[in-house]
A and B are shown apart, each in its own frame.
Chain A
Amino acid sequence: MSDFAPALQAALTNALPGITGIERLTRLSGGASQETWSFDALCDGKTIPLILRRAPGGTRVASETSTSVPLETEAIAIEASRKAGVAAPRVRHVLTENDGLGQGYVMDRLTGETIARKILRDAEFDTVRPDLARQCGEILARIHAVELTPELRKALPVVDGPTQLRRYRDMYDLFNYPHPVFEIAFRWLEPRMAQAKRQTLVHGDFRHGNLLISPKGVEAALDWELTHIGDPLEDIGWICTNTWRFGVQEKVVGGFGDLKDLLAGYEAAGGGHVSEDEARTWIVYGSLKWGVMCMSMYQGFLRDNSVERAAIGRRSSETEIDLINLIIRGKI
Protein backbone atom coordinates (compact mmCIF):
# COMPACT_ATOMS: atom_id res chain seq x y z
CA MET A 1 0.00 0.00 0.00
CA SER A 2 1.43 3.30 -1.00
CA ASP A 3 1.48 6.28 1.32
CA PHE A 4 -0.82 8.37 -0.86
CA ALA A 5 -3.86 6.11 -0.30
CA PRO A 6 -5.44 8.41 2.33
CA ALA A 7 -5.06 11.42 0.02
CA LEU A 8 -6.55 9.44 -2.84
CA GLN A 9 -9.52 8.42 -0.72
CA ALA A 10 -10.06 12.03 0.33
CA ALA A 11 -9.86 13.15 -3.30
CA LEU A 12 -12.65 10.76 -4.23
CA THR A 13 -15.09 11.84 -1.49
CA ASN A 14 -17.22 13.93 -3.84
CA ALA A 15 -17.08 11.57 -6.80
CA LEU A 16 -17.86 8.51 -4.67
CA PRO A 17 -20.01 9.56 -1.71
CA GLY A 18 -19.87 6.86 0.94
CA ILE A 19 -16.30 5.83 0.15
CA THR A 20 -14.87 4.08 3.19
CA GLY A 21 -11.52 2.83 2.02
CA ILE A 22 -9.04 2.01 -0.70
CA GLU A 23 -7.61 -1.44 -1.27
CA ARG A 24 -5.09 -3.21 -3.46
CA LEU A 25 -3.42 -0.01 -4.67
CA THR A 26 -0.83 -1.40 -7.12
CA ARG A 27 1.47 0.28 -9.59
CA LEU A 28 0.84 -1.08 -13.09
CA SER A 29 3.27 0.79 -15.28
CA GLY A 30 4.68 4.11 -16.14
CA GLY A 31 7.83 6.02 -16.72
CA ALA A 32 9.59 8.59 -14.64
CA SER A 33 7.01 11.29 -15.22
CA GLN A 34 3.76 9.30 -15.41
CA GLU A 35 2.28 6.47 -13.37
CA THR A 36 -0.68 4.14 -13.75
CA TRP A 37 -2.13 2.57 -10.60
CA SER A 38 -4.87 -0.01 -10.11
CA PHE A 39 -7.01 0.04 -6.96
CA ASP A 40 -10.41 -0.80 -5.50
CA ALA A 41 -12.59 1.76 -3.75
CA LEU A 42 -14.87 0.45 -1.00
CA CYS A 43 -18.14 2.26 -1.24
CA ASP A 44 -21.35 1.45 0.68
CA GLY A 45 -20.17 -2.11 1.07
CA LYS A 46 -19.43 -2.46 -2.65
CA THR A 47 -16.08 -2.68 -4.42
CA ILE A 48 -15.50 -0.33 -7.35
CA PRO A 49 -12.51 -1.27 -9.56
CA LEU A 50 -10.61 1.85 -10.58
CA ILE A 51 -7.49 3.13 -12.32
CA LEU A 52 -5.46 6.19 -11.40
CA ARG A 53 -3.32 7.83 -14.05
CA ARG A 54 -1.16 10.58 -12.69
CA ALA A 55 1.98 12.65 -13.08
CA PRO A 56 3.16 12.98 -9.47
CA GLY A 57 5.40 15.91 -10.29
CA GLY A 58 2.47 17.83 -11.71
CA THR A 59 3.15 17.51 -15.43
CA ARG A 60 3.85 14.66 -17.74
CA VAL A 61 7.20 15.16 -19.42
CA ALA A 62 6.69 14.67 -23.13
CA SER A 63 9.34 12.88 -25.16
CA GLU A 64 10.91 14.70 -28.08
CA THR A 65 8.70 12.91 -30.60
CA SER A 66 5.41 13.04 -28.79
CA THR A 67 2.48 15.36 -28.94
CA SER A 68 1.12 14.30 -25.57
CA VAL A 69 -1.71 16.32 -24.16
CA PRO A 70 -1.90 17.05 -20.42
CA LEU A 71 -3.68 14.37 -18.36
CA GLU A 72 -6.65 16.69 -17.69
CA THR A 73 -7.12 17.11 -21.44
CA GLU A 74 -6.96 13.35 -21.87
CA ALA A 75 -9.78 13.06 -19.31
CA ILE A 76 -11.89 15.70 -21.11
CA ALA A 77 -11.51 13.86 -24.44
CA ILE A 78 -12.36 10.48 -22.90
CA GLU A 79 -15.47 11.82 -21.19
CA ALA A 80 -16.69 13.67 -24.27
CA SER A 81 -16.20 10.49 -26.30
CA ARG A 82 -17.84 8.20 -23.77
CA LYS A 83 -20.87 10.47 -23.56
CA ALA A 84 -21.09 10.34 -27.36
CA GLY A 85 -21.30 6.55 -27.22
CA VAL A 86 -17.65 5.62 -27.66
CA ALA A 87 -16.51 2.54 -25.75
CA ALA A 88 -14.21 4.23 -23.24
CA PRO A 89 -13.79 4.09 -19.45
CA ARG A 90 -15.88 6.45 -17.33
CA VAL A 91 -13.79 9.18 -15.75
CA ARG A 92 -14.72 9.46 -12.07
CA HIS A 93 -12.54 12.32 -10.94
CA VAL A 94 -9.97 14.72 -12.35
CA LEU A 95 -7.33 15.55 -9.75
CA THR A 96 -7.21 19.12 -8.51
CA GLU A 97 -4.40 20.99 -6.86
CA ASN A 98 -6.13 20.57 -3.47
CA ASP A 99 -5.91 16.78 -3.81
CA GLY A 100 -2.12 17.01 -3.51
CA LEU A 101 -1.57 14.04 -5.80
CA GLY A 102 -0.17 15.79 -8.84
CA GLN A 103 -1.91 15.96 -12.19
CA GLY A 104 -4.15 13.12 -13.33
CA TYR A 105 -7.50 11.43 -13.12
CA VAL A 106 -9.36 8.39 -11.82
CA MET A 107 -11.38 6.19 -14.18
CA ASP A 108 -13.22 2.87 -14.13
CA ARG A 109 -11.11 -0.26 -14.46
CA LEU A 110 -12.72 -2.39 -17.15
CA THR A 111 -12.08 -6.06 -17.77
CA GLY A 112 -10.31 -7.31 -20.86
CA GLU A 113 -7.03 -8.02 -22.58
CA THR A 114 -4.63 -5.59 -24.27
CA ILE A 115 -1.79 -7.96 -25.18
CA ALA A 116 -1.85 -8.55 -28.94
CA ARG A 117 -0.31 -12.02 -28.82
CA LYS A 118 -3.14 -13.27 -26.61
CA ILE A 119 -5.89 -11.56 -28.58
CA LEU A 120 -4.53 -12.97 -31.85
CA ARG A 121 -3.78 -16.49 -30.62
CA ASP A 122 -5.72 -17.51 -27.51
CA ALA A 123 -8.69 -19.79 -28.09
CA GLU A 124 -11.03 -17.69 -25.94
CA PHE A 125 -10.88 -14.94 -28.59
CA ASP A 126 -11.51 -17.28 -31.55
CA THR A 127 -15.22 -16.52 -31.75
CA VAL A 128 -14.99 -12.75 -31.44
CA ARG A 129 -11.89 -12.23 -33.59
CA PRO A 130 -13.77 -12.02 -36.94
CA ASP A 131 -15.98 -9.23 -35.49
CA LEU A 132 -13.20 -7.02 -34.17
CA ALA A 133 -12.40 -5.12 -37.39
CA ARG A 134 -16.00 -4.07 -37.84
CA GLN A 135 -16.23 -3.04 -34.17
CA CYS A 136 -13.07 -0.97 -34.52
CA GLY A 137 -14.65 0.77 -37.51
CA GLU A 138 -17.78 1.53 -35.50
CA ILE A 139 -15.80 2.88 -32.54
CA LEU A 140 -13.70 5.08 -34.82
CA ALA A 141 -16.82 6.45 -36.53
CA ARG A 142 -18.16 7.44 -33.10
CA ILE A 143 -14.88 9.02 -31.99
CA HIS A 144 -14.79 11.02 -35.23
CA ALA A 145 -18.39 12.14 -34.69
CA VAL A 146 -17.73 13.63 -31.24
CA GLU A 147 -18.89 17.24 -31.28
CA LEU A 148 -15.96 19.62 -31.12
CA THR A 149 -17.27 21.84 -28.37
CA PRO A 150 -15.50 25.08 -27.47
CA GLU A 151 -14.07 23.21 -24.45
CA LEU A 152 -12.55 20.51 -26.66
CA ARG A 153 -11.33 23.01 -29.23
CA LYS A 154 -9.62 24.98 -26.50
CA ALA A 155 -8.00 21.92 -24.92
CA LEU A 156 -6.86 19.96 -27.96
CA PRO A 157 -4.05 20.73 -30.40
CA VAL A 158 -4.83 20.71 -34.12
CA VAL A 159 -2.38 18.32 -35.75
CA ASP A 160 -3.38 17.84 -39.37
CA GLY A 161 -1.75 15.67 -42.05
CA PRO A 162 0.75 18.22 -43.38
CA THR A 163 1.80 19.14 -39.82
CA GLN A 164 2.46 15.50 -38.97
CA LEU A 165 4.35 14.87 -42.17
CA ARG A 166 6.54 17.89 -41.50
CA ARG A 167 7.16 16.74 -37.93
CA TYR A 168 8.40 13.32 -39.05
CA ARG A 169 10.35 14.89 -41.91
CA ASP A 170 12.13 17.09 -39.36
CA MET A 171 12.83 14.12 -37.11
CA TYR A 172 14.14 12.09 -40.05
CA ASP A 173 16.36 14.99 -41.16
CA LEU A 174 17.76 15.26 -37.65
CA PHE A 175 19.21 11.72 -37.87
CA ASN A 176 21.08 12.78 -41.00
CA TYR A 177 21.12 9.27 -42.43
CA PRO A 178 19.87 8.76 -46.00
CA HIS A 179 16.91 6.44 -46.64
CA PRO A 180 15.86 6.81 -50.30
CA VAL A 181 12.67 4.77 -49.75
CA PHE A 182 11.61 7.16 -46.99
CA GLU A 183 12.28 10.09 -49.35
CA ILE A 184 10.03 8.46 -51.95
CA ALA A 185 7.34 7.98 -49.31
CA PHE A 186 7.51 11.62 -48.15
CA ARG A 187 7.14 12.84 -51.74
CA TRP A 188 4.33 10.39 -52.43
CA LEU A 189 2.44 11.43 -49.31
CA GLU A 190 2.76 15.22 -49.55
CA PRO A 191 0.04 15.80 -52.17
CA ARG A 192 -2.14 12.96 -50.86
CA MET A 193 -2.18 14.19 -47.26
CA ALA A 194 -2.44 17.87 -48.15
CA GLN A 195 -6.21 18.11 -47.91
CA ALA A 196 -8.44 16.47 -45.36
CA LYS A 197 -12.08 15.85 -46.21
CA ARG A 198 -12.97 16.37 -42.55
CA GLN A 199 -11.38 17.65 -39.39
CA THR A 200 -12.48 15.70 -36.30
CA LEU A 201 -11.46 14.42 -32.92
CA VAL A 202 -8.71 11.83 -33.48
CA HIS A 203 -7.70 9.19 -30.91
CA GLY A 204 -4.10 9.40 -32.11
CA ASP A 205 -2.86 5.97 -31.00
CA PHE A 206 -5.62 3.52 -31.90
CA ARG A 207 -3.81 0.14 -31.98
CA HIS A 208 -2.98 -3.00 -30.02
CA GLY A 209 -1.98 -2.21 -26.47
CA ASN A 210 -4.54 0.57 -26.29
CA LEU A 211 -7.57 -1.54 -27.20
CA LEU A 212 -9.19 -3.42 -24.36
CA ILE A 213 -10.68 -6.57 -25.84
CA SER A 214 -12.70 -9.31 -24.16
CA PRO A 215 -14.23 -12.49 -25.61
CA LYS A 216 -17.34 -10.34 -26.10
CA GLY A 217 -15.63 -7.69 -28.23
CA VAL A 218 -13.80 -4.37 -28.01
CA GLU A 219 -14.59 -3.07 -24.52
CA ALA A 220 -12.79 0.26 -24.67
CA ALA A 221 -10.30 2.49 -26.41
CA LEU A 222 -7.65 3.36 -23.83
CA ASP A 223 -4.67 5.69 -23.59
CA TRP A 224 -5.82 8.93 -25.15
CA GLU A 225 -2.47 10.59 -24.52
CA LEU A 226 -1.95 11.52 -28.19
CA THR A 227 -5.51 12.66 -28.91
CA HIS A 228 -5.89 15.75 -31.08
CA ILE A 229 -8.00 17.38 -33.75
CA GLY A 230 -7.02 16.26 -37.22
CA ASP A 231 -7.73 14.06 -40.21
CA PRO A 232 -9.84 11.07 -39.08
CA LEU A 233 -8.17 8.81 -41.63
CA GLU A 234 -5.10 8.86 -39.37
CA ASP A 235 -6.79 6.49 -36.89
CA ILE A 236 -7.86 4.12 -39.69
CA GLY A 237 -4.36 3.99 -41.16
CA TRP A 238 -2.55 3.44 -37.87
CA ILE A 239 -4.45 0.31 -36.78
CA CYS A 240 -3.80 -1.12 -40.28
CA THR A 241 -0.05 -0.42 -40.23
CA ASN A 242 1.93 -3.62 -40.59
CA THR A 243 3.70 -3.32 -37.25
CA TRP A 244 0.37 -3.83 -35.43
CA ARG A 245 -0.42 -7.05 -37.30
CA PHE A 246 2.10 -9.00 -35.23
CA GLY A 247 3.04 -11.29 -38.08
CA VAL A 248 -0.50 -11.95 -39.30
CA GLN A 249 0.13 -10.11 -42.58
CA GLU A 250 -3.04 -10.97 -44.43
CA LYS A 251 -5.24 -9.62 -41.64
CA VAL A 252 -4.70 -5.94 -42.34
CA VAL A 253 -6.54 -4.60 -39.30
CA GLY A 254 -4.44 -5.36 -36.21
CA GLY A 255 -3.73 -8.89 -37.41
CA PHE A 256 -7.35 -9.84 -36.71
CA GLY A 257 -9.50 -8.47 -39.51
CA ASP A 258 -10.01 -7.23 -43.04
CA LEU A 259 -9.92 -3.62 -44.12
CA LYS A 260 -13.29 -3.92 -45.89
CA ASP A 261 -14.92 -4.95 -42.58
CA LEU A 262 -13.41 -1.99 -40.75
CA LEU A 263 -14.54 0.39 -43.50
CA ALA A 264 -18.03 -1.17 -43.59
CA GLY A 265 -18.38 -0.77 -39.82
CA TYR A 266 -17.12 2.80 -40.12
CA GLU A 267 -19.66 3.69 -42.78
CA ALA A 268 -22.55 1.89 -41.04
CA ALA A 269 -21.86 3.80 -37.82
CA GLY A 270 -21.99 7.13 -39.63
CA GLY A 271 -18.33 7.75 -40.41
CA GLY A 272 -19.03 8.12 -44.12
CA HIS A 273 -17.52 6.24 -47.03
CA VAL A 274 -13.76 5.74 -47.03
CA SER A 275 -12.15 4.02 -50.01
CA GLU A 276 -9.36 1.47 -49.66
CA ASP A 277 -7.15 3.88 -51.57
CA GLU A 278 -7.74 6.66 -49.04
CA ALA A 279 -6.98 4.20 -46.24
CA ARG A 280 -3.82 3.12 -48.07
CA THR A 281 -2.46 6.67 -48.02
CA TRP A 282 -2.66 6.70 -44.23
CA ILE A 283 -1.23 3.18 -43.94
CA VAL A 284 1.75 4.45 -45.93
CA TYR A 285 1.98 7.32 -43.47
CA GLY A 286 1.76 4.89 -40.52
CA SER A 287 4.56 2.79 -41.98
CA LEU A 288 6.75 5.82 -42.61
CA LYS A 289 6.08 7.12 -39.10
CA TRP A 290 6.99 3.73 -37.62
CA GLY A 291 10.14 3.64 -39.75
CA VAL A 292 11.26 7.03 -38.47
CA MET A 293 10.40 5.96 -34.91
CA CYS A 294 12.60 2.88 -35.42
CA MET A 295 15.46 5.14 -36.52
CA SER A 296 15.01 7.16 -33.36
CA MET A 297 15.16 4.01 -31.25
CA TYR A 298 18.42 3.09 -32.93
CA GLN A 299 19.74 6.55 -32.07
CA GLY A 300 18.69 5.83 -28.49
CA PHE A 301 20.80 2.68 -28.60
CA LEU A 302 23.84 4.70 -29.59
CA ARG A 303 23.37 6.53 -26.31
CA ASP A 304 22.49 3.75 -23.89
CA ASN A 305 23.52 0.45 -25.53
CA SER A 306 20.23 -1.33 -25.00
CA VAL A 307 20.13 -4.54 -27.01
CA GLU A 308 16.41 -4.36 -27.66
CA ARG A 309 16.55 -0.87 -29.06
CA ALA A 310 19.37 -1.80 -31.41
CA ALA A 311 17.31 -4.63 -32.82
CA ILE A 312 14.27 -2.39 -33.23
CA GLY A 313 16.49 0.10 -35.05
CA ARG A 314 17.25 -2.58 -37.61
CA ARG A 315 13.55 -2.91 -38.13
CA SER A 316 13.41 0.32 -40.10
CA SER A 317 14.31 -1.80 -43.13
CA GLU A 318 11.12 -3.77 -42.53
CA THR A 319 9.13 -0.60 -42.95
CA GLU A 320 11.00 0.08 -46.19
CA ILE A 321 9.75 -3.17 -47.70
CA ASP A 322 6.26 -2.35 -46.39
CA LEU A 323 6.46 1.01 -48.13
CA ILE A 324 7.53 -0.65 -51.37
CA ASN A 325 4.68 -3.14 -51.11
CA LEU A 326 2.23 -0.29 -50.47
CA ILE A 327 3.46 2.41 -52.86
CA ILE A 328 5.02 0.48 -55.73
CA ARG A 329 3.09 -2.78 -55.64
CA GLY A 330 -0.18 -1.24 -54.42
CA LYS A 331 -0.54 -4.02 -51.82
CA ILE A 332 -2.11 -3.09 -48.52
Chain B
Amino acid sequence: MLELVKAVRDFVEQRAMPELKGHTAFHARVAANALGIVARELEFGAASADGERQRLAALLGHDGALIDLNRELCTAIRDGKMGLETPGLVDHLTTTTREKVEIDQPNYGGLKRFRAG
Protein backbone atom coordinates (compact mmCIF):
# COMPACT_ATOMS: atom_id res chain seq x y z
CA MET B 1 0.00 0.00 0.00
CA LEU B 2 2.81 2.37 0.94
CA GLU B 3 4.62 1.72 -2.34
CA LEU B 4 1.42 2.40 -4.27
CA VAL B 5 0.85 5.76 -2.58
CA LYS B 6 4.47 6.77 -3.10
CA ALA B 7 4.23 5.85 -6.77
CA VAL B 8 1.12 7.99 -7.25
CA ARG B 9 2.74 10.89 -5.41
CA ASP B 10 5.84 10.63 -7.61
CA PHE B 11 3.64 10.52 -10.70
CA VAL B 12 1.75 13.67 -9.67
CA GLU B 13 4.93 15.47 -8.69
CA GLN B 14 7.27 14.47 -11.50
CA ARG B 15 5.05 13.67 -14.48
CA ALA B 16 1.70 15.44 -14.12
CA MET B 17 2.72 18.74 -12.51
CA PRO B 18 5.11 19.89 -15.24
CA GLU B 19 2.21 19.58 -17.72
CA LEU B 20 -0.18 21.69 -15.63
CA LYS B 21 -0.68 25.41 -15.33
CA GLY B 22 -2.06 27.95 -12.89
CA HIS B 23 -4.62 26.84 -10.36
CA THR B 24 -4.57 23.21 -11.48
CA ALA B 25 -0.80 23.07 -10.98
CA PHE B 26 -1.23 24.57 -7.52
CA HIS B 27 -3.86 22.00 -6.57
CA ALA B 28 -1.65 19.22 -7.94
CA ARG B 29 1.13 20.41 -5.61
CA VAL B 30 -1.31 20.37 -2.70
CA ALA B 31 -2.47 16.90 -3.77
CA ALA B 32 1.14 15.63 -3.91
CA ASN B 33 1.75 16.99 -0.42
CA ALA B 34 -1.41 15.27 0.79
CA LEU B 35 -0.18 11.97 -0.65
CA GLY B 36 3.08 12.56 1.21
CA ILE B 37 1.09 12.80 4.43
CA VAL B 38 -0.70 9.53 3.61
CA ALA B 39 2.63 7.80 2.86
CA ARG B 40 4.17 8.91 6.16
CA GLU B 41 0.97 8.02 8.03
CA LEU B 42 1.13 4.50 6.58
CA GLU B 43 4.80 4.20 7.48
CA PHE B 44 4.88 5.69 10.99
CA GLY B 45 1.25 6.31 12.01
CA ALA B 46 0.52 2.99 13.73
CA ALA B 47 3.64 3.00 15.92
CA SER B 48 3.10 6.64 16.80
CA ALA B 49 -0.54 6.07 17.76
CA ASP B 50 0.44 3.05 19.83
CA GLY B 51 2.98 5.07 21.80
CA GLU B 52 0.43 7.83 22.32
CA ARG B 53 -2.13 5.32 23.62
CA GLN B 54 0.36 3.77 26.03
CA ARG B 55 1.36 7.14 27.46
CA LEU B 56 -2.30 8.13 27.82
CA ALA B 57 -3.07 4.85 29.59
CA ALA B 58 -0.25 5.51 32.04
CA LEU B 59 -1.44 9.08 32.66
CA LEU B 60 -5.09 8.16 33.12
CA GLY B 61 -4.54 4.85 34.89
CA HIS B 62 -6.44 2.68 32.41
CA ASP B 63 -6.32 1.58 28.79
CA GLY B 64 -8.88 2.27 26.08
CA ALA B 65 -9.39 3.45 22.51
CA LEU B 66 -7.14 6.35 21.54
CA ILE B 67 -9.97 8.79 20.87
CA ASP B 68 -11.69 7.96 24.17
CA LEU B 69 -8.48 8.39 26.14
CA ASN B 70 -7.88 11.72 24.43
CA ARG B 71 -11.41 12.84 25.26
CA GLU B 72 -10.87 11.90 28.87
CA LEU B 73 -7.57 13.81 28.98
CA CYS B 74 -9.24 16.86 27.43
CA THR B 75 -11.98 16.82 30.05
CA ALA B 76 -9.40 16.49 32.83
CA ILE B 77 -7.44 19.48 31.52
CA ARG B 78 -10.59 21.51 31.02
CA ASP B 79 -11.78 20.80 34.55
CA GLY B 80 -8.39 21.72 35.96
CA LYS B 81 -7.74 18.18 37.24
CA MET B 82 -4.67 17.89 35.04
CA GLY B 83 -2.34 20.53 33.70
CA LEU B 84 1.22 21.44 32.90
CA GLU B 85 2.20 20.49 36.47
CA THR B 86 0.89 16.90 36.10
CA PRO B 87 3.91 14.55 36.00
CA GLY B 88 4.41 13.12 32.52
CA LEU B 89 1.84 15.33 30.79
CA VAL B 90 4.24 17.81 29.23
CA ASP B 91 6.42 14.95 28.00
CA HIS B 92 3.38 13.19 26.54
CA LEU B 93 2.10 16.29 24.75
CA THR B 94 5.48 17.25 23.31
CA THR B 95 6.23 13.73 22.04
CA THR B 96 2.75 13.27 20.57
CA THR B 97 2.78 16.66 18.86
CA ARG B 98 6.30 16.25 17.49
CA GLU B 99 5.37 12.89 15.95
CA LYS B 100 2.17 14.29 14.49
CA VAL B 101 3.98 17.17 12.81
CA GLU B 102 6.70 14.82 11.54
CA ILE B 103 3.92 13.01 9.66
CA ASP B 104 1.77 16.02 8.70
CA GLN B 105 4.37 18.66 7.89
CA PRO B 106 7.98 17.47 8.33
CA ASN B 107 9.45 20.66 6.87
CA TYR B 108 7.51 22.96 9.16
CA GLY B 109 9.68 25.69 10.65
CA GLY B 110 8.05 25.34 14.07
CA LEU B 111 9.30 21.76 14.18
CA LYS B 112 12.86 22.94 13.55
CA ARG B 113 12.50 25.49 16.31
CA PHE B 114 11.20 22.78 18.60
CA ARG B 115 14.15 20.49 17.82
CA ALA B 116 16.55 23.34 18.49
CA GLY B 117 15.65 22.79 22.17
A315–B105 touching, CB < 8 Å: yes
Contacts of B101 on A, CB cut-off 8 Å? 317-318, 320-321
If A184-B84, A325-B114 touch, whether A247 touches B109 (CB-CB below 8 Å) is yes
If A318-B105, A320-B101, A324-B93 touch, whether A308 touches B30 (CB-CB below 8 Å) is yes
- Considering only residues 181-223 of chain A, those with a C-beta below 8 Å from chain B are 181, 183-184, 186-188
Judge whether B33 is part of the interface by a CB distance below 8 angstroms: yes
A184 contact from B31, B77, B108, Cβ within 8 A = B77
Contacts of B71 on A, CB cut-off 8 Å? 178
A179–B74 touching, CB < 8 Å: yes
- Report the separation of the CA atoms of residues A314 and B105 in the bound assembly, to the nearest whole angstrom: 8
- Considering only residues 99-117 of chain B, those with a C-beta below 8 Å from chain A are 100-101, 104-105, 108-114
Residue-by-residue, is B32-61 near A (CB-CB < 8 Å gives 1, otherwise 0)? Answer: 011001000000000000000000000000
B27–A321 touching, CB < 8 Å: no
Judge whether A311 is part of the interface by a CB distance below 8 angstroms: yes
B77–A183 touching, CB < 8 Å: yes
State the majority secondary structure of interface residues on A: helix
Judge whether B73 is part of the interface by a CB distance below 8 angstroms: yes
A178–B27 touching, CB < 8 Å: no
Judge whether B22 is part of the interface by a CB distance below 8 angstroms: no
Residue-by-residue, is B56-98 near A (CB-CB < 8 Å gives 1, otherwise 0)? Answer: 0000000000010011011001101001100000100110111
- Report the separation of the CA atoms of residues A189 and B94 in the bound assembly, to the nearest whole angstrom: 19
Q: How far is the CB of A98 from chain B (nearest CB, A)?
A: 39
Q: Work out how many contacts link A and B, with CB atoms closer than 8 A.
A: 89
B109–A245 touching, CB < 8 Å: yes
- Report the separation of the CA atoms of residues A186 and B79 in the bound assembly, to the nearest whole angstrom: 11
State the majority secondary structure of interface residues on B: helix
A322–B30 touching, CB < 8 Å: no
A311–B33 touching, CB < 8 Å: yes
Q: How far is the CB of A266 from chain B (nearest CB, A)?
A: 25
A187 contact from B73, B78, B100, B114, Cβ within 8 A = B78
Judge whether A34 is part of the interface by a CB distance below 8 angstroms: no
If A311-B30, A317-B104 touch, whether A324 touches B114 (CB-CB below 8 Å) is yes
Q: How far is the CB of A330 from chain B (nearest CB, A)?
A: 12
If A320-B97, A324-B93, A328-B84 touch, whether A249 touches B105 (CB-CB below 8 Å) is no
Count of chain A residues near B, Cβ 8 A: 31
Question: Which size bracket describes the interface of B in this complex?
Answer: 20 to 34
Contacts of B100 on A, CB cut-off 8 Å? 317, 320
A249–B74 touching, CB < 8 Å: no
If A308-B30, A314-B105, A317-B97 touch, whether A180 touches B74 (CB-CB below 8 Å) is yes
Q: How far is the CB of A79 from chain B (nearest CB, A)?
A: 36
Q: How far is the CB of A240 from chain B (nearest CB, A)?
A: 13
- Report the separation of the CA atoms of residues A248 and B97 in the bound assembly, to the nearest whole angstrom: 21
B98–A321 touching, CB < 8 Å: yes
A181–B114 touching, CB < 8 Å: no
Judge whether A310 is part of the interface by a CB distance below 8 angstroms: yes
Q: How far is the CB of B40 from chain A (nearest CB, A)?
A: 11
Highest count of chain A CB atoms <10 Å: which of B37, B83, B100, B110 = B110
Q: A184-B93, A186-B78 are in contact. List 10 more A-B contacts (CB 8 A).
A: A178-B74, A183-B74, A187-B80, A242-B110, A249-B113, A307-B30, A314-B104, A314-B105, A328-B90, A328-B93
Would you give 21 A-B contacts (Cβ < 8 Å), ordered by A? A178-B70, A180-B73, A180-B93, A187-B80, A249-B109, A249-B113, A311-B30, A311-B34, A314-B104, A315-B104, A317-B105, A318-B101, A318-B104, A320-B97, A320-B100, A321-B98, A321-B114, A322-B110, A324-B114, A328-B84, A329-B114
> Which residues of B does A touch, CB under 8 Å?
27, 30-31, 33-34, 37, 67, 70-71, 73-74, 77-78, 80, 83-84, 90, 93-94, 96-98, 100-101, 104-105, 108-114
